[in-house]
Structure 1
Amino acid sequence: MKTFKNSGKALIIMIALALSSCEKDFLDEELKNQYSTDYFQTAEGIEDLTVSLYGNIRWHFGYEWAYGLTLYGTDEFTNANDLTNEMWNTYDNRLGPQGATPATGAANNNATSPASLWDQMYYGIASANTIIANADFVENDELRNRSLAHAYFMRGYNYYRLIAQYGGVVLQLEPAMGVVRNFERSSEEESWAQVISDFRNAYELFEGEVYTYGKGVTWTKATAGHFLAKSLLFRSSERNDSWNDSYKEADLAEAIEAATYTINARSLANDYRDLYANWTGVDSEAEQLDEILMAAPHNADASTSGRFGNRTYNYFTPQFSNFSGGWVRRGVWIGGMDFQRLRPTEYSYAVFDHVNDSRMWKTFKTVYGANNIIDNDMGVELGDPGIVMILNTQDDNTYDNFTFGAAIQNPDWRDVEGRLPEWELGSRQTEFSGSLTSNPGQYVPNSLVLYQNGEYVSPQFKSTPISNFFAGINKTDDGSRFAEKGDAHRDVTMARLAETYLIRAECYARQGQYGSAMDDINTIRARAEWDEGENRSYYIDGSVAFENNSLNEGSAAENYINSNLNMNTYYLSNPDLEVTTAASELTLTSFPDNLPDEDEAILAELGVSGAYERALHFILNERTRELLGEWQRWETLSRTGTLILRATTFNPEATAITPNKHELRPIPQSFIDGLLNEDGSNLSQGDRDAWQNPGY
């Protein structure tokens, strides 16, 4: 076994990590120590190591770092009452190079250390380096090119993640022998050059859209094209303005070319709901969509679960079991756990057109059914609404005199015909007996509204001391779990075609080609429109996978039916709107002038002016509407130089964020302290300080 490590503390690379045999599911992350390095100098060994690369990417979604590194401290999400990773959102002094433990001020031992990503990405890099170094041992051209394409892509992707967070990093491009304790930190310019080179190589080597290891989770030329475009855009963006002038023109042109290949090679899903909400179980159609360019693969086979399962279902859901007063109990029949980590900001609601943009209502979960009766005198039956969240707008005065946070006398639940509907739920068709009513006055045990008297009042409900009552998003819900806190079984989408359109649109905007940018944006917005005949009050999420769960029997089956009512608060949230099944309209007719009202309000609050700045911030708004919660917001804002502005404007908890510091993460102190000079002597204090990012 070859190892590349820094004093056993950080930057540890184990070449055989995640090695899996082609005879097993490629998710197998079993460590096979019986293989010597000679095995990696055979065609079979190189193929095994290539397949194992897919296991490396699952680390990103195995624990609290999934959201701490990517979503906290931005304009979209803030912390709720759970403070596990609070420092990543508030940017206080606990976010430092020393780590994140109770000894350094963390709330508990589950907090994410700044060393987490730094350590882990080099595992995949080590495997990629071995494949690249030993590729000539593979005589078959097709197999050799396939393995090299995957290796260059993995190395490029892992370095992309490192540089996006830390800036310039250690570029280790050869397999390392033994213990290495003297490294050089490359500049950000040198680091991006390496990432772009790796993605270029992958882009050239992939065999078009050939699904070598299974459609839906396999990297192809389109995947490489997406990330090549993304890395070129990163290099030409504001964070690198001190050195990137000579690259911008060529980078944007090449990024457009690569993105165009990906756009032409793949197709968008027809319905936004199909991407996440219609997840019916392991390997379902939602995981096979042509739109998906990269996913972290998972399944229900315990023998292939490896070290990191999918725990993302924990993080987007409010603490419903607590604030509901017991009316809504949690369980595997509800697709998410109530860990209350990620509370949407006011911006994340306000950025949507609440009437015409279906993405809002296909993403936010606003109704929970009562699955437990607490007070028989209230007239609530099992399967009635137990929690109702009304997502109204600031200019709505309908609910100014209502009392929220506890009970609400429910005003007029309506379906298209003003009567109790029949909904087709997979193979089950149920007529709800009390979940909807055209009769005002139904008692709802727990309720929320966003605005009263023009004031954003949502955080005032259930504050202990921070609100744990909010509308969570449903992109990770999984009703296939076998235990309440068990691993999820669904893949995690890491890249999809809609973002490719937005990447190309941003490149066009940076070139001043606003008409071309608008065309790409309108392609995305067209899918977001309500279709003719569509029921706007219908809702579904990954809880529906429970229908195919072996646990779906007896009381569990009843709990599933009573908890998941397949409706939203669309009409309660838009109380002046008549019930309609007409198509909606979101097409931009000018750009970047005369933007939709919701965007003009946001740009005014940000103080944004000028054609390019208006275009950039509109695209950032559109990325929220399309990609909310999809594990990349922090890097996007850091890349565009907008992190400080948008976090301070829209995230009330990000009180300690500091310019010229928090656009990068701290380099782990454990790594710096383990470094030696080439002669084996310790680094001077000045040299150690030079390794650290500014401000830490």
Structure 2
Amino acid sequence: MNKFKNIGIVFLAMMGLLSSSCSNDFLDEEQVSKYPTSYFDTAQGLTDLTESLYGNIRWHFGYEWAYGINLYGTDEFTNANDLTNEMWNTYGSSLGPLGATKSTGAANDNATSPAALWDEMYYGIASANMIIAKAPTVITDVKVRNRCLAHAYFLRGYNYYRLTAQYGGVVLQTVPIIETVVRNFTRSSEEDCWKQVISDLRNAYGLFEGEVFTYGKGITWTKATAAHFLAKALLFRSSERNNAWNSAYKTDDYKEAVDACSYAISSRGALTPNYSDLYANWTGIDCPNEQLNEILMAAGFNGDAVAEGRYGNQTYNYFAPQFSSFAGGWVARGIWIGSMDFQRCRPTEYSYGVFDHVNDARMWKTFKTVYGVNTVKTPNPNAVKLGDPGIVMILNDKNDNTYNGFTFGCFSQNPTWKDNAGRLPEWSIAGRQKATSGSLTSKVGQFVPNASVLYQNGVYVAPTFKNQNVCNFFAGINKTDDGSRNAEKGNAHRDVIMARLGETYLLRAECYVRLGQFGDAMNDINVVRSRAQWKSGENRSYYNDGSQAFEKNPLNTGAAATNYINSNLNMNTYYLSNPGVAVTTAASDLTLKSFPANLPAEDEAVIAKVGASSDMERALNFILNERTRELLGEWDRWETLSRTGTLIKRAKAFNPEAKFITENKHELRPIPQTFIDGVLNKDGSNLSTAQKAAWQNPGY
């Protein structure tokens, strides 16, 4: 068990008292009187405070803000029927400085306020400031001192990265605030903020001792972690959002970012050979796949309640459809299914269509398309049995005509599912999917209670399935599924990956593109795409996810064990979704042969829709597409699109629900009004209305 995962956030909570934030939301995190401030005048106190920095990053995955801040309102995800954070997706009026509450138009009080990230990041910054200020004189052991400083510079740089990426220019507080209240803050420019981020990450990069895992192999921050985020910060500073002032930085930033990426790649070795090992093959708490060399940074969780913090890991809630409520109720939810059906993040048409459905294994190792019957309903004229396929999601493409004319839906609507000519759909008359076969059912006439399809007659029909205005029936992703939970709504225990080499290769490829080195960029892209290919001997119809951790769960007994077996059938709809493909275990080929000309058809379709024409635009949009295929749901899509100046165009093109997104406004988040209202002039007077307006981002 990794040591740091058991460290509570006592120190972070205490340092919150010293924070520059005006909010008190997190001051009750733990007992804050356990340690006096004098404890941090000792080497042990600063070492303990350094270890506690890991607790600050757990916050990102503890509640609704995980997806609202990072995934909503982009080209990849939109909202389903649950409207908790709808405003983050639609850019409605309740996404504003006053916060998202029922009084400002939010659906409920669980909605994420724009102040959430602001408050929490400054807590971590306060702790880092204390270490940076005191370690040079308090810690005499050079190695220990450098480790503490490396961690503090890294977290401060990371937290300011997140703040600047979301809000633009923010308050730069780089010295501790002790035994006083400061309220006459100055908002720094975005340029100065990126200078601070890059300086901190450079310091961390220089101070880390290579790939020395101070608190546990494979999970803690190292020189490669700092290198990865240094590259991201350099790339952000010199990307399109900052074109008004960044021209003097660009070439040097790109070259330094390439060098930083190259260190991370060379120091950690090759990518994990099987994409499934990163997410799908999660077998339980602290399993070996959480220690893969590809993982550069993760928020650590485990089964110890002390490690959960205030919220714990709630990410398993947000990516599944509402499978338990589909008419007929054939699939009951529970701890035996690794996700909850809170239907927050519904993939867009783009997120399905950007994949090569036949040759890209990532699609079928990421999307969950089959649920088994774990509850037989009555009446049951079709003799559905426990363990039969209960929910089937066919991810066909726009040119597929196989399912034209069929009525898809649920048992109570259409128990025979015949087309206008009285024919049963193909999936009803095939043989049951076995370990090496591609069909889905075991006998002629086998009935599946619920099924959906993406396209009929070339029309994307998935969003209006069952005549819903917003569909709650979709194929969600499995990257957070966790069968180790000790209750249906209990906290997840798996780590959340925050950085890995798959992204590092794509960052370096983007830098090469911006330097005009398209051949080098293609080489890096092909490293990522080669891993994504089907390997010889792979069963393309096999599927698994983190539900399998239930096999080691002490609750895996009796009815729960039966429900686990019946619910998780380890199959997908690959062959139903690609009806012209014969069953095969041959390898596929995804490698590019030219770049950025003659791209795959799925990429050319996206590029045409967004109107990209120059080599640079084509290459950049291809990399954004590849980031979707490689990193779908991995918590940084909004920042990536905002950075590259593509947020408005791609959200409008691919997310119909993002209907209020506005240029020159929504590329940044609103500064929390509660903070602005608390700022004073140097003479102690309140800010004027004009001064408050000057603090706020444009359009808010």
* TM-score scaled by length of structure 1: 0.94
Rounded Cα–Cα distance in structure 2 between residues aligned with 1:138 and 1:393: 61
Aligned to 1:149: 150
- 2:547 is matched with 543
C-alpha distance in 2, partners of 1:6/1:198?
A: 19
Residue 95 of structure 1 corresponds to 95
- Answering whether residue 288 of structure 2 is matched by residue 285 of structure 1, we say yes
- Deviation of the 1:282 alpha carbon: 0.3
Deviation at 1:380, TM superposition (A): 0.8
C-alpha contact (below 8 Å) 1:5/1:180 kept by paired residues: no
1:429 corresponds to: none
**Aligned counterpart, 1:228:** 230
CA pair 288-413 structure 1, distance change in 2 beyond 3 A: farther
Q: Is the 8 A contact 1:372 1:382 kept in 2?
A: yes
Paired letter, 1:239: R
Partner residue of 1:67? 67
Q: Could you say which residue in structure 2 is the equivalent of 1:218? A: 220
Letter in 1 for 2:190: E
For residue 5 of structure 1, report the CA deviation from its aligned partner. 5.2
Name the counterpart of 1:427. Answer: none
Contact 1:412 1:440 in 2 (8 A): no
Deviations 1:481-507 (A, max 9, x none): 000111000000000110000000000
1:306 shift after superposition: 2.0
Matched, 1:459 2:473: no
CA shift, 1:323, in A, is 1.3
Distance 1:320 1:600 in 2: 34
Paired residue secondary structure (1:159): helix
Residue 115 of structure 1, CA deviation = 0.4
Structure 2 CA distance for partners of 1:439 and 1:244, relative to 1, 3 Å: same
User: CA, structure 1 residues 374+547, in 2 after alignment: closer, same or farther (shift >3 Å)?
Assistant: same
Structure 2 CA distance for aligned equivalents of residues 676 and 395 of structure 1: 61
State, as a whole percentage, how many aligned pairs show the same letter: 70
1:403 to 402, 407, 419: 407
| Separation in structure 1 between the aligned mates of residue 85 and residue 63 of structure 2, nearest angstrom | 11
CA distance in 1, matches of 2:231, 2:240: 16
Tell me, in whole angstroms, the C-alpha distance in 2 between the residues paired with 1:94 and 1:72.
Answer: 14
**One-letter code aligned to 1:82:** D
C-alpha RMSD of matched pairs (Å): 1.8
3-state SS in 2 of match to 1:307: coil
Correspondence 1:270 to 2:273:
yes
Aligned equivalent of 1:23: none
Q: Report if the CA contact (8 A) 1:56-1:124 is conserved.
A: yes
**Please, which runs of 5 or more residues in structure 2 have no aligned partner?**
1-13, 412-416, 418-423
Answer yes or no: is 1:683 the counterpart of 2:650.
no
Helix, strand or coil: the match of 1:686? Answer: helix
Rounded to whole Å, the distance in 2 between the matches of 1:327 and 1:640 is 44
Quote the residue 2:3 is aligned against: none
Letter aligned with residue 372 of structure 1 = T
CA distance in 1, matches of 2:61, 2:610: 32
Q: What is the match of residue 26 of structure 1?
A: none
Change (3 A) 1:438 1:321: closer
Matched, 1:592 2:605: no
SS of 1:60's equivalent?
helix
Partner of 1:360: 363
> Pick from 627, 631, 637: which aligns with 1:627?
631
Look up the match of 1:175: 176
Q: Does residue 204 of structure 1 match 2:219?
A: no
The 5-angstrom pairing of residues 450-599 of structure 1 reads 450-599=454-603
**How far has the Cα of 1:441 moved from its partner?**
2.5
Cross-structure match for 2:250: 248
Q: Secondary structure at the match of 2:70?
A: coil
What is the CA–CA distance in structure 2 between the aligned matches of 1:661 and 1:89, rounded to whole Å?
A: 14
SS in 2 for 1:598: helix
Judge conservation of contact 1:78–1:343 (CA < 8 Å) in 2. yes
Partner-residue secondary structure (3-state), 1:185: coil
SS in 2 for 1:461: helix
Checking the alignment, whether the CA contact within 8 Å between 1:508 and 1:516 is kept in structure 2 is yes
Shift of 1:36: 1.3
User: Post-superposition shift, 1:420?
Assistant: 5.8
Count of residues in correspondence between the two structures? 671
Report the Cα distance in structure 2 between the residues aligned to 1:485 and 1:419, rounded to whole angstroms.
33
**Contact 1:396–1:451 (8 Å) recurs in 2:** yes
Q: CA deviation at 1:217?
A: 1.7
**Whole-angstrom CA distance in 2 between matches of 1:419 and 1:124:** 53
User: Which residue in 2 is equivalent to 1:86?
Assistant: 86
Q: Residue 447 of structure 2 aligns to a residue in which SS?
A: strand
CA contact (8 A) 1:410 1:444 kept: no
Structure 1 residues without counterparts, runs of 5 or longer = 18-28, 424-431
User: How many angstroms does 1:421 deviate by?
Assistant: 2.9
Q: Deviations over 1:350-379 (max 9, x none)?
A: 000000000000000000000001133112
**Amino acid in the other structure paired with 2:251:** E
Residues 189-198 or 30-39, more deviating: 30-39
Question: Which aligned segments of 4 or more residues in structure 1 are displaced greater than 4 angstroms?
Answer: 5-8, 29-32, 407-410, 412-415
Post-superposition offset of 1:304:
3.0
Partner of 1:129: 129
**Offset, 1:303:** 3.3
Conserved in 2, the CA contact under 8 Å of 1:412 and 1:439?
A: no
CA deviation string 1:384-418 (max 9, x = no partner)? 00000000000000000211122555625899xx7
Contact 1:335 1:479 in 2 (8 A): yes
Deviation at 1:608, TM superposition (A): 1.1
Whether the 8 Å CA contact 2:94–2:101 is kept in 1: the answer is: no
**Structure-to-structure mapping, 1:637-656, within 5 angstroms:** 637-656=641-660
For residue 389 of structure 1, give the secondary structure of its aligned residue in structure 2.
strand
Deviates more, 1:233-242 or 1:93-102: 93-102
Please identify, of 351-360 and 210-219, the stretch whose mean Cα deviation from structure 2 is larger.
210-219
- For the residues of structure 2 that align with 1:503 and 1:381, how far apart are their CA atoms? 49
Give the Cα–Cα distance (whole angstroms) in 1 for the partners of residues 34 and 198 of structure 2: 35
Alpha-carbon deviation of 1:436? 4.0
CA contact (8 A) 2:19 2:122 kept: no
Partner of 1:493: helix, strand, or coil? strand
Q: What is the identity, as a one-letter code, of the residue corresponding to 2:107?
A: A
1:244 is paired with a residue of what secondary structure?
Answer: coil
- Given that 2:435 and 2:542 are in contact with CA atoms closer than 8 Å, whether structure 1 keeps it comes out as no
Deviation track 1:160-196 (CA, whole Å, cap 9, x = no partner) reads 0000000000000000022111100000000000000
Given candidates 347, 372, 375, the residue that maps to 1:372 is: 375
Deviation at 1:52, TM superposition (A): 0.2
Q: Is the 8 A contact 2:428 2:447 kept in 1?
A: no
Q: Distance in 1 between matches of 2:667 and 2:239?
A: 13
Q: Which amino acid aligns with 1:460?
A: T
- In structure 2, what is the Cα distance between the partners aligned to 1:112 and 1:672? 18
In structure 2, how many angstroms separate the alpha carbons of the residues matched to 1:348 and 1:639?
20
Structure 1 residue 325 displacement after superposition: 2.3
- For the 8 Å contact 1:75–1:650, the answer to whether it is kept is yes
Bigger mean CA deviation after superposition, 87-96 or 515-524: 87-96
Q: Secondary structure, in 3 states, of the residue corresponding to 1:442?
A: coil
Which among 347, 350, 353 is matched to residue 350 of structure 1? 353
Q: Secondary structure at the match of 1:662?
A: coil
Kindly indicate whether residue 55 of structure 2 is the aligned counterpart of residue 41 of structure 1.
no
Distance change >3 Å, CA 326–CA 76, structure 1 → 2: same
Write the deviation string for residues 46-89 of structure 1: whole angstroms up to 9, x where unpaired: 11000000000000000000000000000000000000000000
Alignment partner of 1:305 is 2:319: no
SS in 2 for 1:403: coil
Partner of 2:329: 326
What is the one-letter code of the residue matched to 1:182?
Answer: N
- Displacement of 1:305 in angstroms is 2.2
